[in-house]
Copies of this chain bind each other. A is one copy, B any other.
């Protein structure tokens, strides 16, 4: 920053230059985000000033937030959906708009911890939650922050959490389980119905991380049970800024019971409301408006088409890859493909350096990870596989 300001022209010339270095998602097969929908961008702009951290001043944006939570609740089969009007939780399902999956996951575990600690005064030792080995690295942040033990259950041969491993890890300090509905690496869906049985039997919480899958699974031809329809599910993370086509930051956390949200409250003495259950204070109303707009605009039909497009690409990728001699690790259940190739780390670098493809790598086993998103086309897949053949032939 200089003593005197620069001109608008100078600044936008610099910004345009910087923007030219950002991806336009051309040849991107590594991201779970994509272009936000045009209507989401317009709605975002309209509410750019709105602060959901100060509900008393932003009734309209808060109304949109409540509408979004209701729509997400309906999508995820919540028995009834509403969010509190500031400091109380009026109906049987609550939630709020977060900055994304990480905040949602952190808050879900924080809620479990607070409810258990409040309920069992005599709780001794360190509480633990059991997550699949495939869980997102945001749970490393949970472990690092919250003085909670995060126990990792093994995966079965299809990269779903292994139920026997989960049961072995449960002890008297276990407060909850986490299931992933659409894991980051394989797009695999954990057996949420079976996890639910275990959770109910042990009287512990079950959080479902559907940050990516929440806007995919309900629109698949054969949906999997993963949401509040499954009786043991107590909370769900879902990200409109991924397959929901909203703007960043747009996450959401939904609870089955209002007591969950209550457990996250702190007092807010100098705001227009009395308490706050969110992790962040000042929050983007623009994101709420963006998510409202795109959900209303697309409807179930629009999202179904979106998922169909991605699943057709996925199917094409697997079929054509097989023809070229590359097997997937599993039959994809969502729009993520993990492809067995020789020396994946080297292949990844070559694909980027020689052909500009952004792909990533699964951890165990190491394979080429490809996410087929709305920004991809059938032509992309043909071009990609041509380049993959060239690269692997020379390694």
Binding site for B on A (CB under 8 A): 1-6, 8, 10-12, 14-23, 28, 30-31, 33, 35-36, 39, 41-51, 53-54, 56-61, 63-64, 71, 74-75, 99-103, 106, 110, 114, 136-138, 140-141, 144-147, 184-185, 239, 241, 247-249, 266-272, 276, 279-286, 289, 292-293, 295-302, 358, 360-363, 369
Interchain nearest-CB distance for A254 vs B (Å): 14
A276 lies within 8 A of B137 (CB): yes
B57 lies within 8 A of A28 (CB): yes
Given contacts A43-B15, A147-B147, A23 and B57 within 8 Å (CB-CB): yes
Given contacts A22-B57, A63-B18, A279-B102, A299 and B6 within 8 Å (CB-CB): yes
Contacts of A17 in B (CB 8 A): 60
B57 lies within 8 A of A297 (CB): no
B57 lies within 8 A of A48 (CB): no
In the bound complex, what is the Cα–Cα distance between A138 and B63 (angstroms)?
Answer: 24
Q: Of B2, B74, B137, which is within 8 A of A267 by CB?
A: B137
A61 lies within 8 A of B18 (CB): yes
Interchain nearest-CB distance for A300 vs B (Å): 5
B5 lies within 8 A of A296 (CB): yes
Contacts of A280 in B (CB 8 A): 99-100, 102-103, 249
Given contacts A39-B11, A269-B137, A64 and B18 within 8 Å (CB-CB): yes
Considering only CB atoms, which chain B residue lies closest to A107 in the complex? B145
In the bound complex, what is the Cα–Cα distance between A147 and B297 (angstroms)?
Answer: 44
B145 lies within 8 A of A110 (CB): yes
Given contacts A58-B22, A60-B22, A360 and B276 within 8 Å (CB-CB): no
Contacts of A270 in B (CB 8 A): 30, 184-185, 360-363, 369
In the bound complex, what is the Cα–Cα distance between A63 and B282 (angstroms)?
Answer: 25
- A selection of 23 A-B contacts at a CB cut-off of 8 Å is A5-B297, A5-B302, A14-B296, A15-B43, A15-B292, A18-B60, A21-B60, A22-B50, A22-B61, A31-B57, A44-B48, A99-B280, A110-B144, A110-B145, A137-B266, A137-B276, A141-B279, A144-B266, A145-B145, A146-B146, A184-B270, A248-B282, A270-B369
Contacts of A59 in B (CB 8 A): 21-22
Contacts of A53 in B (CB 8 A): 100
B147 lies within 8 A of A101 (CB): no
Considering only CB atoms, which chain B residue lies closest to A71 in the complex? B1
Contacts of A269 in B (CB 8 A): 137, 185, 361, 363
Interchain nearest-CB distance for A86 vs B (Å): 14
B51 lies within 8 A of A248 (CB): yes
Q: Which of A4, A249, A282, A300 has the most C-beta atoms of chain B within 10 angstroms of its own C-beta?
A: A282
Q: A51-B248, A100-B281, A146-B147 are in contact. List 4 more A-B contacts (CB 8 A).
A: A15-B292, A20-B60, A21-B63, A249-B280
B358 lies within 8 A of A295 (CB): no
Contacts of A114 in B (CB 8 A): 144
Given contacts A1-B299, A358-B56, A249 and B145 within 8 Å (CB-CB): no
Contacts of A299 in B (CB 8 A): 1-6
Interchain nearest-CB distance for A127 vs B (Å): 10
A296 lies within 8 A of B1 (CB): yes
Interchain nearest-CB distance for A217 vs B (Å): 15
Q: Of B42, B50, B360, which is within 8 A of A271 by CB?
A: B360
In the bound complex, what is the Cα–Cα distance between A298 and B266 (angstroms)?
Answer: 36
A1 lies within 8 A of B360 (CB): no
B358 lies within 8 A of A57 (CB): yes
B282 lies within 8 A of A241 (CB): yes
Contacts of A146 in B (CB 8 A): 145-147
A33 lies within 8 A of B60 (CB): no
Contacts of A279 in B (CB 8 A): 102-103, 141
